[in-house]
Amino acid sequence: DIRQHITTSFPGSPGGGGSDFASFLAAGAPAFSLSSLGWSYGNYTWHTNRDTYDKIVFDDVRNNAILTAILAYMASEDSAKSSNEKSVLPINPRTGKPGEWPSPTKATRKGGLN
């Protein structure tokens, strides 16, 4: 059963990078982030000269695409709505204050103009 390999944490916490789902939550929209086994990507190949196509694990890409499609289909058929609840973030050990969710800000886009 594939469910034994899926873990969830709701409400979750904002990610440390790689996804903008926390921006959607900050604006009040339900959102979440999907992730998978990293295969030491973060500490071996990420943003180095070793970050090349030959490191792709195609079986994992295929499995992740299938899982994402299944989850999207299941969500589209579910009458229950996703929560946009935000978790209470832990105390920041450097400041002694509770962590904060990102605040929505106005985008500074210029349409490709410099």
Two tokens, residue 35: 């992730």
pLDDT, one tens digit per residue, over 48-94 is 888 888 888 888 889 889 888 988 888 888 888 777 777 788 898 99
Q: Look at residue 38 in the predicted model and tell me its pLDDT.
A: 67
The answer to whether 25 touches 78, Cβ cutoff 8 Å, is no
The model's pTM is 0.57
Two tokens, residue 106: 């106005």
Average confidence (pLDDT) over 3-31: 73
Q: Look at residue 7 in the predicted model and tell me its pLDDT.
A: 72
Average confidence (pLDDT) over 28-53: 77
Average confidence (pLDDT) over 88-112: 83
